[in-house]
Structure 1
Amino acid sequence: MLKQINFWNTIVVLQVVFALILLFFLVRLIKKSKIYIPLLIFAILTVFDSIILVLSYTGLIEKLPHLINTNESLFLLYGLLLFLYIRNLLHRRLIYKKSDVLFFLPFIVSLLVYLPYFFKTAAEKLSYYNAESGIDFSEEIWEWLFYFLVNIYFLWKALETLNVFNFNQKKQLSDVENSNLLYTSKLIKVCIILFCLEFVLVYISFLGFKHFEEIYLILNFLNGIVFLLIALDAVVHSKYILEDQNSLIALPILKEEENETNKYAKSSLTEISSKKIKTILLEFMENEKPYLTPKLRIKDLSELTNIPAHHISQVINESFQQNFYEFINAYRIKEAVLLLKDPKLKEYTYESIAYDVGFNSRSAFYTAFKKIYNTTPTKYLKK
């Protein structure tokens, strides 16, 4: 029997331990910010689901029959909770709307479907559990499709929201390496791929694929691990995210692909004022070199120039077709090129030059340099 395989017992127990550790850190995080509540709920559900799996694989579930299948409906919440967490990040606070009830409809429907089963006696549940022999495609295919589609939908919404979050960070910060959740974005894409693989696996199993159960369990386990890694990434980067979020000012939440005309349709900034601000900005950047300050924010530049931050953001967007992050780092790279060409500084490392011009890491310097010159500093100097 598959439930007697020690390998699965071991890895699921490790998953429980991992989730419990994350649970501890998320509880501490919530004391600082409520935006992490959806992740805390996710960690609790993961612990519960993993415990049910351990009991199932070891056969101990027969001693606690009322727990059988109590975790089935929870699968519909994973993608949704991740989306709600990222939406909180975008708005820098715990967001809840009346319309959010609609997001929980798939979960509620699933609960209603399982409701008659929950009211069965312990003997009836044990009888049903012992009568099961592997996975019945005919009975579970629609449930799988429902589960896949709901989670993929919310994961896709989470990915879109995360892209907006990362874009808006760059509107105000010159250093986003630790607060831009690019790693989380990649993990969400991995989750979507794993769900799609499960979908394909269910389909080809109708054609007589023999090792469906083993691979299905592996994919489910991998998905659980990826979700936990997303929570881990949130814990690791929470310090930087909370610091940055607390220092940001209220600017409109915009998408990268939004039309420039629509962005500033209601702006009070005239064309003459815009040109004047552009001139002031250029002179200030050339003479004062504020970009040499690490972690420079648009709020700081606003205070230094006495220009409202939303006007600076608009001028940078309209006049330079850049966001604040790109605008500042372009000056840093320009300064870095001067240092790289200076014969007196040929013994300097790239890391030293990166810090000298305002970057906080060598990787951030390389990324910005390659985006502007489409090559590495070494190849650029050789040319």
Structure 2
Amino acid sequence: MTELQALIDSIPIRHNPISYLMFSGVFLGFLLSGVVLLRAPRDNRALLFFGLMIGCLSITNLDTFLCYTGWMKFTLAWNDSTEPLTLLFAPLLYLCIRHLVVRKPLPAWVVALHLAPALLYALSQIGYYSEPLAVKFNAYKGAYFSEIPFAEVPEGTTYGYQWVKDMQRWLLLLGFAVYGLLSFRLWQRASKSFGHPATGVRISKYRFGRYALVTFLLSLGLMLVVYISYDDDGGDHYLSLFTLAVTLSTCIAFISESRFFQRTWLLDKYESSATTPPEITLEALREVAGEERFFESPKASLKALAAHLGVHPNRVSRLINQETDGNFNDFVNAYRIDLAKRRLVSPEFRHLTIEAIGRSVGFRSKSSFYEAFRKQVGCSPTQFMKSTGKP
């Protein structure tokens, strides 16, 4: 047996409650990531980026689990190979939040710019990846088993990659700080247009976005404490336990929104239908609902919209709830209020009272018009006219 092999064999295997919790987090993370990536619609980029982030997190947590328990001695050649993935956490979470609140796809080259630091870090570590096993043993044991002697490394080892490697945890911390700030500013700017969650939606995309922002803040604080308190990777198991809590809470959030717990699940007529219902999209709904002859009518209804599209009203209602975080009335009233705003400041309609303009765009009463206007615009029609300089 060589001296290096003897040193590797001396690494103990640790089994304790922390290792069991870490393994649970790894398993749950891979499960959640797989479900999200397989089930999320291809056009739902927020969920896709979130699934990728959870996947990268699970891979690095597996690395941390192997290091903490000592099982890494059986895969020592792969030690620290997941470090580049850690630099994807913050940008992927930011991209998730961005698509939740903006819903405007980014060009591929912009997304590539956000992911470039991880690739550049990986390229800078090619020298480490090709190092002999003794170098990787020393890097591993120094962080987790300081009492074990160092292995003798080949003469001429230069460690040219080391200065970048030593910066990895601080680059990760900087990434969370920068992207956390960007996410907060983005959220703050878009928050006025969020409106209200749809009835029956426990966790809307905006609440989920707030949850992601809180995760940014807590992650930043915990990483700062761990990095100050521990050298190298000695405290990474605490970060793994935190990610277990994040993954578990995310699973609970997803399960709580499952349609299995909705009253309409057993009543959905399409569940027992022998024919496949036609596909509908939000764009198709907007094309119909956005026609003035539809939303200007006080008789505009969910049933009429569904009949025009040839689908069941439940499907239209569900699509509106999921895609807009509002109900049918919010959806149609958005078109009515937009037209009302134009008519309130148009000389062509100056002869009409505010109430008459409300009725002209489809509202049955003055009170319903004012209520919807305040909800959509944030002020009354009178205040809106004053803000535009119209008497």
Instruction: Give the TM-score category using the shorter length.
Output: 0.5 to 0.7
Change (3 A) 1:38 1:130: same
Q: Which residue of 2 aligns with 1:119?
A: 130
Distance, in Å, in 2 between the alignment partners of 1:318 and 1:289 is 11
Change (3 A) 1:67 1:281: farther
Change (3 A) 1:43 1:220: closer
Distance, in Å, in 2 between the alignment partners of 1:278 and 1:65 is 75
Is 1:154 matched up with 2:193? no
Q: What are the equivalent positions in structure 2 for 1:212-227 lying under 5 Å apart? A: 213=234, 217-223=237-243, 225-226=245-246
Distance, in Å, in 1 between the alignment partners of 2:135 and 2:229 is 33
TM-score by length of 1: 0.57
Distance, in Å, in 1 between the alignment partners of 2:18 and 2:60 is 14
Q: Which residue of 1 aligns with 2:22?
A: 12
Structure 1, residues 44-86: CA drift from partner, whole Å, max 9, x if none?
2122122222222232222222221012121111121111112
Structure 1, residues 196-227: CA drift from partner, whole Å, max 9, x if none?
24324544669xxxxx945x532453145326
Change (3 A) 1:278 1:79: farther
TM-score by length of 2: 0.56
Is 1:279 matched up with 2:355? yes
Distance, in Å, in 2 between the alignment partners of 1:66 and 1:274 is 76
Structure with bigger gyration radius: 2
Quote how far apart the aligned CAs of 1:6 are. 1.7
- From 8, 25, 32, the equivalent of 1:22 is 32
Is 1:188 matched up with 2:187? no
Question: Which consecutive unaligned segments of at least 5 residues does structure 1 have?
Answer: 207-211, 250-263, 299-310, 323-383
- Identical counterparts, % of pairs: 14
Quote how far apart the aligned CAs of 1:185 are. 1.0
Quote how far apart the aligned CAs of 1:248 are. 8.5
- From 64, 88, 91, the equivalent of 2:75 is 64
Is 1:170 matched up with 2:180? no
Question: Which consecutive unaligned segments of at least 5 residues does structure 2 have?
Answer: 1-10, 147-162, 260-316, 327-337, 385-391
Q: Which residue of 1 aligns with 2:85?
A: 74
Q: Is the partner of 1:4 in helix, strand or coil?
A: coil
Quote how far apart the aligned CAs of 1:175 are. 8.1
Change (3 A) 1:55 1:220: closer
Q: Is the partner of 1:170 in helix, strand or coil?
A: coil
Structure 1, residues 144-173: CA drift from partner, whole Å, max 9, x if none?
322111112212323343455554331897
- From 86, 106, 124, the equivalent of 2:97 is 86
8 Å CA contact retained: 1:179, 1:237: no
Structure 1, residues 100-119: CA drift from partner, whole Å, max 9, x if none?
33322332332233221112
Q: Is the partner of 1:92 in helix, strand or coil?
A: coil
Q: Is the partner of 1:70 in helix, strand or coil?
A: coil
- From 321, 324, 343, the equivalent of 1:244 is 321
User: How many aligned residue pairs are there?
Assistant: 281
Q: Is the partner of 2:204 in helix, strand or coil?
A: coil
Amino acid at match of 2:109: K
Which structure's residues are more often helix, by fraction? 1
Distance, in Å, in 1 between the alignment partners of 2:353 and 2:201 is 25
Change (3 A) 1:53 1:143: closer
